[in-house]
């Protein structure tokens, strides 16, 4: 299987990149590191573990985190999905992260790159401690592209750091903000991740491939669009209406919407993963969502993904498709 193409969020998933479980907390004060999108539990873990790899801070939690990925890989494989994994970080990369005090991360494959149609795009992450996450993924992407028959592999311009690493000029564009619905691409922006500069760049690029890019302004405590919206199948979505500061996009006006609150969105209740239109993966803790989806005829698969959610991401965040196509 060599094709690269993502048709929509719910087209049958055939090939996917599943993240590793590596993270060293940045050495940053509460003022320096924006944790507004995290739950109190998540923020507390970050604070008490500053400068530590999770293996050092909590070995048992690290083991459970890795086991989540084992279970996720097995579940995806059971549906015939080809699962690819990024390489692990090198000792050089880890040492550089510790020396710079920004830490290191190799834990969410959704954000460093994304796939729209036949186009793979390396994005730019706003948090400085995440900006090198693309490196463990790049060998995998290069191999996939070299084997593909017809695709494009591009990268967004590097962000402007002339005012410092925390400069907000960008352009920033992150995969968690990018949701594909045929020739329409929704891109969220809240001030924490993708910004209008990055969305404008993507819009100009994808115009040449026949796509419309729709900016979606989000609540400032929502990290990514996929923390507020999940497209399950045509006409059905899970949504946190409060997160959409300008209202629900008009393209979804006639859809049936299963609603969650901002508090539920913070728990990643919208961050499930469709395997296809009729199969959806979500957390075993979300019984209400599970029951509502089953009521709509969706087969729901569940995994306890609590550790991944501690780090601010869930099933969609830990995966990035290379092939979703009917």
* Residues carrying an active site annotation: 224, 317
- Rounding to the nearest 10 degrees, give the CA dihedral for residues 284, 182, 220, 20: 50
Spatial distance between the Cα atoms of 229 and 36, rounded to a whole number of angstroms? 19
Burial class (CB in 10 A: 0-12, 13-18, 19+), 37: buried
* Cβ contacts of 143 within 8 Å, gap of 6 or more: none
Q: 3-state SS string over 25-92?
A: CCCCCCCCCCCCCCCHHHHHHHHHCCCCEHHHHCHHHHHHHHHHHHHHHHHHHHCCCEEECCCCCCHH
CB environment 196-207: b (16+ within 10 A), e (fewer)? ebbbebbbebbe
Spatial distance between the Cα atoms of 63 and 24, rounded to a whole number of angstroms? 15
- Judge contact between 152 and 119, C-beta under 8 A: yes
**Which residue shows structure tokens 């109190």?**
40
Spatial distance between the Cα atoms of 160 and 168, rounded to a whole number of angstroms? 8
Spatial distance between the Cα atoms of 184 and 278, rounded to a whole number of angstroms? 21
Spatial distance between the Cα atoms of 9 and 231, rounded to a whole number of angstroms? 6
- Strand, coil or helix: 138: helix
Query: Which residue from 74, 114, 45 is spatially nearest to 317, judged by alpha carbons?
Result: 114
């Amino acid at each position: 299987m060599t094709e690269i193409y993502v048709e929509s969020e719910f087209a049958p998933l055939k090939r996917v990149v599943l993240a590793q479980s590596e993270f060293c907390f940045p050495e940053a004060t509460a003022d320096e590191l924006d944790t507004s999108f995290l739950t109190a539990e998540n923020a507390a873990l970050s604070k008490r573990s500053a400068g530590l790899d999770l293996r050092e801070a909590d070995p048992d939690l690290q083991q459970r985190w890795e086991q989540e990925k084992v279970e996720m890989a097995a579940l995806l494989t059971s549906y015939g999905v080809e699962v690819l994994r990024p390489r692990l970080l090198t000792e050089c990369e880890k040492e550089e992260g510790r020396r710079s005090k920004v830490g290191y991360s190799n834990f969410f494959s959704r954000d460093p790159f994304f796939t729209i149609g036949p186009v793979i795009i390396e994005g730019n992450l706003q948090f400085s401690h995440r900006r090198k996450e693309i490196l463990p993924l790049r060998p995998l992407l290069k191999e996939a592209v070299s084997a593909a028959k017809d695709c494009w592999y591009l990268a967004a311009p590097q962000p402007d750091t002339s005012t410092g690493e925390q400069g907000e000029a960008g352009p920033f564009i992150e995969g968690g903000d990018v949701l594909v619905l045929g020739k329409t691409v929704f891109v969220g922006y809240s001030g924490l991740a993708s910004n209008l500069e990055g969305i404008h760049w993507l819009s100009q690029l994808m115009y040449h491939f026949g796509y419309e890019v729709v900016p979606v302004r989000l609540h400032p405590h929502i990290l990514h669009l996929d923390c507020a919206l999940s497209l399950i199948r045509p006409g059905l979505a899970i949504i946190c209406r409060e997160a959409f500061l300008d209202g629900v996009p008009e393209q979804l006006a006639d859809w049936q919407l299963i609603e969650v609150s901002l508090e539920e969105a913070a728990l990643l209740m919208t961050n499930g993963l469709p395997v296809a239109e009729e199969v959806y993966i979500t957390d075993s803790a979300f019984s209400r969502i599970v029951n509502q989806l089953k009521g709509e005829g969706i087969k729901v698969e569940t995994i306890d993904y609590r550790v991944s959610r501690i780090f601010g991401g869930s099933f969609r965040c830990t995966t990035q498709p290379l092939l979703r196509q009917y």
